[in-house]
A and B are shown apart, each in its own frame.
Chain A
Amino acid sequence: MKGETGKIWTLHLAVIAALFAAQFLLPQYHATNLARIMVLAVYAMGYNIAFGYTGLLSLGHALFFAAGMYAMGLPIWQLEWLPVPALILGLVAGGVMAGAVGLLALRTAGVSFMIVTLMFAQAGYLTLLYLNTWTGGDEGFVVERAYRMIGGVDLAADTPRYLAALGLFSAGMLGCLWLVRSPFGRVMVAMRENEERSRMLGFNPFRVKLIALVISGLYAGVAGAAYGLLFGYVGATFATIQYSILPMLYVLMGGAGTVLGPFLGALAMFYLIDIASGFTDAWLFVVGAALVALILFAPKGILGTLRERGLKWLP
């Protein structure tokens, strides 16, 4: 066990080091892509905490992502807040929204849970459109460059933006690693594997799932806030069903219930879409084909398959 802990930390710290080095090695176009991918990976890590580890198949995570994004963007846009408190508000908004949705949706399970979360997210999206004088509606709004400065550092500039994305990603990944190796992480997995058995070990399923969903919402919220801040745009597209599906695809591709899977999945999917849309307008078809292939040949995703084939120690 001791040896494994060493291996696990070495691997994850090496990934962070590699991503740090990548900014010097990659052309700027790809470095900016990678910054985006890292923020989206934080979102997917949050999704993975709910879905991959706790077994909560939500179709409403865009609501938490958008809650974070708008809770960051609106105070800046309307009230001239500074970015740091705005980011913190975004983080909190994701968690609060997930808690509120969870209190109601977690009374259901399985398909009903999917439908209820989807409905909440649609309601959130329509609310954004309906309140368009406040939210900018469909068009959204730009977060002005002047409001994207933290302590004299311009987050709109390439290097600070990359480093900010990497910082968030590292914190998210290490936090997730710690969580899933903690006693509570073990209980999350137990809920996923067999809720009835877990109840008979003294764990309250509702409470465990609610906590997991709130943590998941905090990840989604801070990712949404960071995405808006780093890339300077807040819009209602981020609240659409597409943004609920994306993290699910990332997680499925990278490996549900693995710490690095969401990042690998986001990376692979991002470039799959990027390359495919260079060749054809039917890039959605390519994505669909990739997913079918994945489900047929590696239903556990990239890392899930590796874990099965010998890397048993992968968290």
Chain B
Amino acid sequence: MAALMEARGLHRHFGGLRAVDGVDFRLEQGEIHALIGPNGAGKTTFVSLLSGRLPVQSGSITLAGEDITRLPAHARVKKGVAYTFQITSVYPRLSVFDNVALAAQSAGARDLAPAVAAALARVNLTGLDREMAGNLSYGHQRLLEVAMGLALQPRVLILDEPTQGLAAGEIEGFKALVRSLVPQTTVLLIEHNMDVVMDLATRITVLNFGQVLATGTPAEIRANPAVQEAYLGGHDD
């Protein structure tokens, strides 16, 4: 399989804190790749380097073979790398429609109304387009954030803890949604909910203290003693 996105030797330190410390990473075309690790492991920092929100200190990033290490974030979005924020970052004072329309028009949609309706339908927010985004429940704001990512029609969709704050019923729908995205879209999923990870991921990368602890299939990760030690807490269920 060809790597759609590849990172080599990525570093990002904050003062003495090594948030990302020499990470090599391959994202294969069409996979659902989960990124897990304890709080503060550097997951958000790592994907911020991929998306361009943060500049890398050393290392390189390629997208479909092209070096994008120095490309500003907005240019990476145009090339198909979309990031949905861990801390919900919709425009609270704009309507749901406008929130999604911004993403759709960025992706070059001519006719915004159907593009917005389609994205909202995929996350089950149909009918809420006239609401102020800030008036939505937290869970709905998470889904709106995802809808904005979808409306960008990305090649790589980076989801940073998308199920946080979703009700159990919503999580099932969300899993079906992510499955329906591949293989056209490649998904990089940061997730604390292990059921979701084990259910969805084709491959998993475990980060710990800014470094890659292990990469493999869900079964391999489950069986990996180092991962159990550091993260899964020794009990495999």
Contacts and interface: CB of A to CB of B under 8 A. Distances in A.
Interface in B79-120: 82-83, 85, 89-91, 93-94, 98, 101-103, 105-107, 112
A231 interface: no
B51 interface: yes
Contacts of B82: 200
A203 B91 CA distance: 15
B115 to A, nearest CB: 12
Given A193-B91, A201-B77, A186 B98 contact: yes
A203 B93 contact: no
Interface in B137-154: 148, 152
B91 A197 contact: yes
B105 to A, nearest CB: 5
A34 B203 CA distance: 70
Contacts of A201: 74, 77, 102-103, 106, 148, 152
Interface residues of A, number: 17
Nearest to A183: B105
B53 interface: yes
Contacts of A291: none
B98 A199 contact: no
Given A202-B74, A202-B152, A193 B93 contact: yes
A199 B103 CA distance: 11
B94 A203 contact: no
Nearest to A207: B74
Interface string A167-197: 0000000000000000100110110011011
B78 A202 contact: yes
A104 B132 CA distance: 35
A156 to B, nearest CB: 46
A8 to B, nearest CB: 15
Given A200-B51, A202-B152, A186 B105 contact: yes
B72 A190 contact: no
Contacts of A122: none
A196 B87 CA distance: 13
A183 B98 CA distance: 10
Given A186-B101, A187-B102, A199-B73, A193 B94 contact: yes
Contacts of B101: 183, 186
A200 B158 CA distance: 12
Nearest to B84: A200
Nearest to A205: B74
A239 B165 CA distance: 54
B106 A197 contact: no
Contacts of B75: 204
A194 B91 contact: yes
B105 A204 contact: no
Contacts of A203: 74, 102, 106
B91 A204 contact: no
Contacts of B105: 183, 186-187
Interface in A48-105: none
B213 to A, nearest CB: 28
Given A190-B94, A204-B74, A198 B83 contact: no
A183 B112 contact: yes
A181 to B, nearest CB: 11
A194 B103 CA distance: 14
Contacts of A189: 94, 98
Contacts of B83: 200
Interface string B184-197: 00000000000000
Contact of B74 (A186, A193, A194, A199): A199
Nearest to A194: B91
B156 to A, nearest CB: 13
Given A193-B91, A201-B152, A204-B72, A186 B102 contact: yes
B4 to A, nearest CB: 18
Given A193-B91, A199-B77, A200-B53, 18 more contacts: A183-B112, A186-B101, A186-B102, A193-B93, A194-B91, A196-B89, A199-B72, A200-B51, A200-B82, A200-B89, A201-B77, A201-B102, A201-B103, A202-B106, A202-B107, A204-B74, A204-B75, A205-B74
Interface of B: 51, 53, 72-75, 77-78, 82-83, 85, 89-91, 93-94, 98, 101-103, 105-107, 112, 148, 152
The 7 closest A-B pairs by CB, nearest first: A202-B77, A202-B106, A183-B105, A193-B91, A204-B74, A199-B74, A197-B89
